[in-house]
């Protein structure tokens, strides 16, 4: 069904029929419920904190009470990417989105400062995350608000002697900062 056909169909419905369909969608599909829950009660701070906890647990998993051992860090970039995509879908404020993008890189740096990481893919994925974050921040005109954090990330990369540090620097050289 095209968008035009949908508009025509919806235009033929009464207000009550429209309300019924929306309620049915709300009850039947979790993404619709999530969207409307956010629209009517946008607790961005709570969402941000929950996202930061999930990302942190990828690098610093919490030992469950009674467990004998601490779970191993999974370091999955995909967890942060799913959260970022979800935030974009909801239409979360660009400052909140930029914060979570940079936090993802910062927590990975904290982990790598304490642990040797031999997988090249880790560094490549952090480069992708950094490029995505910088591009998002620049395109939303909020670079000056995040410049200090971006520079701190870059300084930490140099301090930790990441092999692809020049690629990170090249991203910032592309923009006029």
Q: Which of 71, 165, 79 is nearest to 127 (CA)?
A: 165
**What's the predicted TM-score (pTM) here?**
0.79
Q: Would you kindly state where each structural domain of the chain is located, as residue ranges?
A: 1-41, 43-174
Q: pLDDT tens digits for the chain (177 residues)?
A: 888 988 888 888 898 998 898 889 888 988 888 788 777 777 888 888 999 999 999 999 887 777 777 788 888 889 999 999 999 988 889 999 999 999 999 999 999 999 999 999 999 999 999 999 999 999 999 999 999 999 999 999 999 999 999 999 999 998 865
């Amino acid at each position: 069904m095209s968008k035009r056909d949908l508009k025509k169909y919806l235009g033929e419905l009464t207000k009550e029929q429209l309300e019924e369909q929306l309620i049915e969608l709300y009850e039947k599909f979790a993404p619709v419920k999530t969207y409307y829950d956010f629209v009517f009660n946008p607790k961005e701070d709570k969402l941000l904190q929950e996202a930061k906890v999930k990302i942190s647990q990828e690098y610093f998993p919490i030992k469950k009470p009674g467990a004998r051992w601490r779970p191993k860090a999974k370091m999955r970039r995909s967890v942060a990417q799913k959260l970022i995509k979800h935030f974009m879908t909801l239409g979360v404020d660009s400052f909140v989105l930029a914060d979570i993008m940079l936090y993802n890189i910062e927590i990975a740096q904290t982990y790598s400062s304490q642990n040797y990481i031999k997988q090249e893919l880790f560094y490549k994925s952090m480069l992708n995350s950094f490029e995505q974050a910088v591009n998002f921040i620049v395109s939303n005109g909020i670079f000056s608000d995040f410049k200090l954090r971006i520079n701190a990330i870059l300084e930490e990369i140099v301090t930790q002697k990441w092999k692809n540090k020049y690629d990170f620097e090249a991203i910032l050289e592309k923009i006029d900062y």
